[in-house]
A and B are shown apart, each in its own frame.
Chain A
């Protein structure tokens, strides 16, 4: 690795902890970010000469804090010094005192707070994600703009707006209580899942550009899990992301078109990610505190465990979706369950299951795709065609339309009567 490459990796890994601590100290996001930025610049000069410090995050916090305080004292920043600044005079034991304060329990909540600020409920999802990627992950505006397929100027504006909004919203700096901590944790988990889905739901030529979002989400999920090691749902979330991302290399053909699960070359699935995902589910299960991420991860695990599509344990998947319906009732969950039901109990049962969803999913193209498939399997071809046409009309992008068309082509091909055991 070249000099700058290891420094980049060190800065990236220290970033959440360092900015989180600087934020707690200065209570101002801009100041904290700028302090970290200045410390990083000094690191780029100092580390190649002196070698990396034993504790890069501690080094960056210390240097960042000192530089920012200097700026405030010289009047370069219009901001009062933090109240407890007198307690930290410029003496040798400063480092020990600060290191002491940064130690242990603090940094968990620092990082959680930093992540939590990014998912403030006032912020629309896209702003939450952009803010987290900028502040916590340290991606450049240019990188984020590229992943979101918008101009750099537009992304700059989006992030600036998001920052202004969270600056007004006061997030308490005291150590949170158990209930508040767990609320923060689930908000942050949801945001990490959003980041992942931004990358995962991409298709066509954008898939490759956006897949770093999946990797970043996995990094953040692992970080969160390392901080909260006994949280079964965070294990479930991390497992879910790993198991879904494990299929990345098999999900698209050479032209960037989506390859459905049944048609994927399973030898391309990343076995190391699958192993990690399965290990995390095993750990989570021991807690016997189920939750939506764990259930979804368990469903993904059943797909991952099937060497061939026909080995898939659809009965178990049906049961898991049933559990998910109770935890997180949603017509989309029921729609997914119906696919499992069609494999276990046949298309008639599946169709009956989704009929009541029609009013709520009347603008959801997957609903019509799935409905059309069930109808075709039942030989009700005319009704099926109507459903397929409706699905295509509802596609949002050409990639989506192409995906649906392929989906539909396949369903047409597959729904020829074959006298298979599953049917009836």
Chain B
């Protein structure tokens, strides 16, 4: 059986700009996105969809030795995004502990830890 090819689509935009939308504008955009998502969901092609909280809520763990915790999102440009985890944690400290464990297994680079605002777990037909 052919292996299904999964693609991650990562969303980038100017946060200042999207943050300046009125509630109505925001709702209108989400509504239009929902139409696209619904179509994919019905076809069993939609995996998890997450809307992240603003970058002001982000914390970055630089996987140096020892690891360093920094406020704010990952802002370097010489590393590339290679993957991501969604983990259920009680609070930031617990999320940082998970990130440290992962970092010990794979040093170097960084993890940006960002709370998820909305999560649609999706349902891929497998």
Contact = CB atoms under 8 A, between A and B. Distances in A.
B80 to A, nearest CB: 21
Contact of B25 (A1, A13, A223, A229): A1
Given A9-B17, A9-B20, 5 more contacts: A13-B19, A223-B16, A230-B72, A235-B56, A276-B57
18 contacts: A9-B20, A12-B20, A13-B14, A13-B16, A13-B19, A13-B20, A56-B17, A215-B23, A226-B16, A226-B55, A226-B56, A272-B53, A276-B54, A276-B115, A278-B91, A282-B92, A283-B59, A286-B59
Contact of A10 (B17, B29, B55, B57): B17
A276 B117 contact: yes
Contact of B56 (A238, A275, A278, A286): A238
Interface in A208-236: 215, 219, 222-223, 225-226, 229-230, 235
Contacts of A283: 57, 59, 71, 92
A279 B53 contact: yes
A282 B93 contact: yes
B58 to A, nearest CB: 9
A215 B57 CA distance: 17
Contacts of B92: 279, 282-283, 286
A235 B91 CA distance: 16
Interface string B1-19: 0000000000000111111
B50 interface: no
B35 to A, nearest CB: 15
A280 interface: yes
Interface string A150-186: 0000000000000000000000000000000000000
Contacts of A56: 17
Nearest to B17: A13
A226 B55 CA distance: 8
A422 interface: no
A185 to B, nearest CB: 15
Contacts of A226: 15-16, 55-56, 72
Interface of B: 14-21, 23, 25, 28-29, 53-57, 59, 69-72, 91-93, 115, 117-118
Interface string A1-45: 100010011101110000000000000000000000000000000
Interface of A: 1, 5, 8-10, 12-14, 56, 215, 219, 222-223, 225-226, 229-230, 235, 238, 272, 275-276, 278-280, 282-283, 286
B115 A275 contact: yes
A421 B117 CA distance: 38
Given A13-B20, A229-B71, A230-B71, A280 B14 contact: no
Given A9-B20, A12-B20, A1 B28 contact: yes
Given A223-B16, A229-B71, A229-B72, A9 B117 contact: no
A95 to B, nearest CB: 20
Nearest to A52: B17
B14 to A, nearest CB: 7
Contacts of B115: 275-276, 279
Nearest to B54: A222
Contacts of B93: 282, 286
Nearest to A238: B56
Contacts of A280: 56-57
A230 B60 CA distance: 12
Contacts of B19: 13, 219, 222
A278 B53 CA distance: 11
Contacts of B14: 13
B57 A279 contact: yes
Given A1-B29, A286-B69, A272 B57 contact: no
A272 B52 CA distance: 10
Contacts of B17: 9-10, 13, 56
Contacts of B28: 1
A276 B16 CA distance: 17
A219 B70 CA distance: 23
Contacts of A215: 23
B118 A272 contact: yes
